[in-house]
Structure 1
């Protein structure tokens, strides 16, 4: 069943996102629907606001009025989510909810894909895609949280640091 699960965008009244998320989670628990409704997410971003007291980091909703739900779409799950107080409907055409594509999900950063890194600091790696494809460089920094790696590449006789996605490089000996 989990293979049928897709991410759907649920439209809510502005300010009701957290309430809708909590209510869906409660329904899932009470009705034992964990196999049908897998995950509920409200995409957030951290923004630095400058106030009289200095800079302050604040969590803010990326899409106010929207909640993302990973679920198996059927009549039961559609009705459960659609009839929650604060929900105005699914993103889609008429009463037909349209799932997000894999690319959309990746761009939103909702589902973290685990990338196994087979290189470490100081290793020589080969860039596998992008403008510097097939260039060799040395790993200077690995940031697993952001999914980035900084590689120092020698171009035109100069050492140039380049930031890439973790999966854009591979060990040079492969």
Structure 2
């Protein structure tokens, strides 16, 4: 293995419904074998979907963006390939003859992965702690607040609003705010 080799993103096909289990198993194997330098990140891309229940209430749930697929940032070595390929629930790498083919930078960006931070994001990469934002929907629609915390993994932000006669933090979806 070359010292200059850089980790690239690969797509792994899994049994339906086994994505999170595969992710956890690979992360555990990487930690156990001390291979954090070869397999740097395992991601199951999800998005928040708002559904209306039979009673008319809106409910937000997470949905897998690519069902039956897991994205892995890794350097292909015999051992890293073996760990991923022999994980229970993995059917193989996406590529000709199950030969791992790395994603191009354009494909990685199209899948919603920010190349700078290597986090899966929902298009809102320009938000920062301290930014003033306006709430677009919900009970605080139209209110202006300040971002205190950003959780890109869950696609949520904590916004401090002037409510109840004091500064109050509220956690909300990243899609429900806009920078002003």
For the superposition of Structure 1 and Structure 2, which TM-score range results when normalised by the shorter chain? 0.5 to 0.7
SS at match of 1:27: helix
Question: Which residue number in structure 1 is paired with residue 10 of structure 2?
Answer: 8
Question: Which residue number in structure 2 is paired with residue 46 of structure 1?
Answer: 48
Aligned positions, number: 124
C-alpha separation in 2, matches of 1:65 and 1:2: 32
Q: Which runs of 5+ in 2 are unaligned?
A: 118-124, 133-146, 156-180
Question: Which residue number in structure 2 is paired with residue 103 of structure 1?
Answer: 106
Question: Which residue number in structure 2 is paired with residue 26 of structure 1?
Answer: 28
Give me the TM-score of the superposition, normalised by structure 1. 0.64
Q: What CA deviation, in whole Å up to 9, does each residue of 1:25-54 have, x standing for no partner?
A: 000110000000000000101111111231
Relative to 1, partners in 2 of residues 1:25 and 1:95: Cα closer, same or farther, differing over 3 Å? same
Deviation at 1:75, TM superposition (A): 1.2
Is the contact made by 1:21 and 1:67 (CA closer than 8 Å) also made in structure 2?
yes
C-alpha separation in 1, matches of 2:16 and 2:61: 18
Relative to 1, partners in 2 of residues 1:26 and 1:70: Cα closer, same or farther, differing over 3 Å? same
Relative to 1, partners in 2 of residues 1:2 and 1:68: Cα closer, same or farther, differing over 3 Å? farther
Give the counterpart of 1:36 among 35, 38, 48.
Answer: 38
Relative to 1, partners in 2 of residues 1:79 and 1:51: Cα closer, same or farther, differing over 3 Å? same
C-alpha separation in 2, matches of 1:44 and 1:2: 32
Deviation at 1:23, TM superposition (A): 0.3
Structure whose alpha-carbon radius of gyration is higher: 1
SS at match of 1:52: coil
Q: What CA deviation, in whole Å up to 9, does each residue of 1:103-157 have, x standing for no partner?
A: 111111123536789xx99xxxxxxxxxxxxxxxxxxxxx9989xxxxxxxxxxx
Is 1:77 aligned with 2:77? no
C-alpha separation in 1, matches of 2:126 and 2:68: 35
Give me the TM-score of the superposition, normalised by structure 2. 0.62
C-alpha separation in 1, matches of 2:44 and 2:4: 21
